């Protein structure tokens, strides 16, 4: 049964019902809590052929960050409406695959906690350890589930929600020659940031040139955007990052390109405009004023649509040969020197 006061899950179920046969829908796991069961839904649309590019959207990994789920749902609703009239969208989907997991941690959202009902932070839960020093607690800890950023017990399997994300990514994204993922979060800084791996080390990823080319393409196409692009390691390192784990475990990595990105919405800007949000646990991570929420839901649609176009047209902008070496030097100078 879906709780009446978990509106994001209700909205997702409505979109699934309205989508009808457009979407392939699965429930890779479900969360039992307080006598209720919350399904974790995965949706897919577009060409299932293994040689077409794919793009995944994820949200709600942290239960406190409802806005992450809401921006994915906003894009999903826009996509569903456009399917009724937009021939270019239908043509686009003939040549690519889209997957969605808008609410990964419904149990945490139900309890208004960052972690899942077992007290595990799903973004510290993967079996990958930082190679350099991490911030105390923030970087992931195994002391106790009563403390924040708990990774889970040593040698324990990943939580069902984390495993569901990994299974979807491995099946729908990592198996293809080109894929990207966008994971939507909030809570860091005054600016909206696009983070890319690594989180477990300050060492650049092998696909740094592709990240640099993607950033350059977006900045040239939308020169007035306000995003800050940077590796997560530039801010802090962590253990157990899901996207690092998935990136590091791409089979046939030399023949495949997988670019996992994180949209980190700057919630401090919302608190700055309304300091009373500091006294509300949800208010620290989410816009509370209706007009501000609507603005946030609007502003990221350009970025989401750009990622669709970039994935579908990846052969037109992925750097090769000398151009790739030049992008590598540019990215190193920008983010690592």
Q: What is the CATH number of the domain that holds 162?
A: 3.40.630.10
Q: Is residue 96 part of a domain?
A: yes
Q: Is residue 19 part of a domain?
A: yes
Q: Is residue 275 part of a domain?
A: yes
Q: Are strands 54-59 and 97-101 parallel, antiparallel or unpaired?
A: parallel
Q: Is residue 45 part of a domain?
A: yes
Domain hosting residue 79, numbered range: 7-336
Q: Are strands 178-186 and 228-231 parallel, antiparallel or unpaired?
A: unpaired
User: DSSP assignment of 146-203, as one string?
Assistant: TSSSB--STTPPPPHHHHHHHHHHHHHTTTSSEEEEEEEEE-SSSS-EEEES-SS-SS
Q: Is residue 2 part of a domain?
A: no
The string of pLDDT tens digits covering residues 201-222 is: 999 999 999 999 999 999 999 9
**Which residues are CB-neighbours of 267 under 8 A, at least 6 positions away?**
67, 186, 187, 188, 284, 285, 286, 287
pLDDT of residue 5: 67
User: DSSP assignment of 54-104, as one string?
Assistant: EEEEEE-SSTT-HHHHHHHHHHHHHHHHHTTT-HHHHHHHTT-EEEEE--S
Burial of 27 (0-12, 13-18, 19+ CB in 10 A): exposed
What angle in degrees, to the nearest 10, is found between the helix axes of 321-335 and 208-221? 80
Q: Is residue 306 part of a domain?
A: yes
Scan for tokens 């080390």, then name that residue.
Answer: 201
What angle in degrees, to the nearest 10, is found between the helix axes of 7-19 and 66-82? 20
The domain total for the chain is 1
The residue ranges of the chain whose pLDDT is under 50 are 1-3
Cα gap 65→53, rounded to integer Å: 29
**How far does CA 83 lie from the centroid of its chain?**
23
Q: Which residues pair with 194 in a beta bridge?
A: 229, 263
Cα gap 181→261, rounded to integer Å: 6
* C-alpha Rg value of the chain to the nearest Å: 19
Phi, psi of 142 (to 5 degrees): -115, 15
Cα gap 103→68, rounded to integer Å: 9
pLDDT of residue 328: 97
Q: Is residue 280 part of a domain?
A: yes
Q: Is residue 1 part of a domain?
A: no
Q: Which two tokens stand for residue 314?
A: 């990846």
The string of pLDDT tens digits covering residues 51-82 is: 999 999 999 999 999 999 999 999 999 999 99
How many CB atoms within 10 Å of residue 86? Answer: 12
pLDDT of residue 224: 96
Half-sphere exposure of 53 (CA within 13 A, CB side): 20
């Amino acid at each position: 049964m879906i709780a009446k006061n978990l509106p994001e899950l209700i909205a997702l179920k409505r979109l699934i019902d309205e989508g009808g046969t457009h979407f392939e829908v699965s429930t890779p796991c479900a969360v039992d809590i307080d006598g209720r069961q919350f399904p974790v839904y995965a949706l897919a649309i577009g060409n299932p052929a293994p040689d077409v590019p794919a793009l995944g959207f994820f949200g709600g990994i942290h239960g406190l960050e409802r806005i992450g789920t809401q921006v994915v749902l906003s894009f999903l609703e826009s996509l569903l409406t456009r399917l009724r009239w937009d021939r270019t969208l239908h043509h686009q989907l003939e040549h690519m695959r889209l997957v969605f997991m808008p609410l990964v941690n419904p149990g945490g959202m139900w309890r208004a906690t960052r972690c899942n009902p077992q007290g595990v932070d799903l973004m510290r839960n993967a079996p990958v350890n930082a190679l350099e020093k991490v911030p105390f607690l923030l970087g992931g800890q195994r002391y106790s589930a009563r403390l924040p950023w708990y990774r889970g017990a040593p040698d324990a399997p990943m939580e069902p929600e984390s495993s569901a994300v990994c299974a979807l990514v491995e099946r729908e994204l990592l198996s293809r020659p080109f894929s990207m993922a966008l994971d939507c979060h909030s809570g860091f800084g005054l600016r909206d940031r696009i983070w890319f791996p690594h989180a477990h080390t300050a060492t650049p990823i092998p696909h740094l040139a592709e990240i640099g080319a993607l950033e350059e393409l977006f900045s040239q196409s939308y020169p007035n955007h306000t995003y800050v692009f940077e590796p997560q390691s530039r801010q802090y390192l962590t253990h157990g990052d899901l996207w690092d784990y998935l990136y590091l475990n791409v089979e046939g990595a030399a023949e495949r390109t997988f670019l996992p990105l994180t949209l980190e919405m700057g919630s401090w800007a919302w608190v700055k405009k309304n300091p009373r949000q500091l006294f509300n646990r949800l208010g620290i991570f989410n816009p509370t004023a209706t007009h501000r929420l609507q603005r946030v839901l609007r502003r990221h649609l350009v970025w989401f649509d750009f990622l669709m176009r970039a994935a579908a047209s990846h052969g037109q902008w992925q750097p090769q040969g000398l151009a790739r070496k030049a992008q590598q030097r540019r990215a190193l100078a920008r983010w690592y020197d």
